[in-house]
Copies of this chain bind each other. A is one copy, B any other.
Amino acid sequence: MNPTHNRKKDMTRDQIVKAAIQVFGGKSFLEANISEIAQKAEVAEGTIYQHFKNKEDLLFFIPRERTAAFCEGLELHLQGIQDASNKLAKFAWYYLYFFKENPEYARIAMLELRVNKNFQKTKGYRLFRGWSDTLLDIIKEGQEEGTIRADMDLHIIQELLLGVLEHYVTRWLLKDEKWDLLEFRGHAVDLVLNGIRARDVQGTQGEVARKEKPAEIMSARKKTFKNKQMV
């Protein structure tokens, strides 16, 4: 068979992945079982193993499709926004909006993939976190603009933002999506942006947990991050 004519196989694979999102999105990895996925996808259990090495491999494949959709939407929503602060606010909004609209995927991403050590080593993970470069660019832009404090490494700020957003989505999921995920967005984002905003510090109240001078901090941290690969 000609390698370009592998439509059929792709189609059943898509069916399987679609079914997997439904099943994995509704119960934990452990509780979800292959037979149910096979049934939903209208294939035999054995068929799944022609497309995926095992149950975990199938789980790890899921973000590929959704990440692409996430990135497309993000690009679109960021277009036309001028300064970095507004871009960050928009980013946070879109992030929460996306998971609100994709609750099944949210459960998979936040409650399974995000805390899975094996997933960190997969191709899917790089896509999953690939878009975070966009975030780094925005932060850098803000630092150059002078609207975001430059006395701190990019990655620290990035981790702060992602940490808070992931946390809010996770809490929302664990509480059975009882409230609107976007409800507290303004306040949470306000706190974070307030924290990273540049201002003329006069040492008025800024003595807590800051023993080194700004310049030293930045250069030192950049090196450390590169060596230790925090992100």
Residues of A within 8 A of B (CB): 28-30, 85-86, 89, 110-112, 114-118, 120, 147, 152-153, 156-157, 159-160, 162-164, 166-168, 170-171, 173-175, 178-179, 183-197, 199, 204-206, 208-212, 217, 221, 224, 228-230
Contact = CB atoms under 8 A, between A and B. Distances in A.
A106 to B, nearest CB: 12
A30 B29 CA distance: 9
B179 A117 contact: no
Which of the listed residues A160, A170, A171 has the most CB atoms from chain B within 10 Å of its own CB?
A160
A192 B156 CA distance: 11
Given A178-B229, A191-B196, A221-B187, A160 B156 contact: no
Nearest to A118: B28
Contacts of A171: 159, 230
Q: For the complex, would chain A's binding face be called helix, strand, loop or mixed by DSSP majority? A: helix
A89 B139 CA distance: 25
Contact of A184 (B156, B187, B189): B156
B208 A86 contact: yes
A166 B165 CA distance: 12
A170 B115 contact: yes
Nearest to A192: B195
24 contacts: A28-B116, A28-B118, A85-B208, A89-B208, A114-B115, A115-B115, A117-B174, A152-B191, A157-B191, A159-B168, A159-B188, A160-B191, A162-B167, A163-B164, A164-B164, A167-B167, A171-B230, A175-B228, A175-B229, A178-B229, A184-B230, A187-B221, A195-B195, A199-B204
Contacts of A208: 85-86, 89, 189-190, 193
A224 B188 contact: no
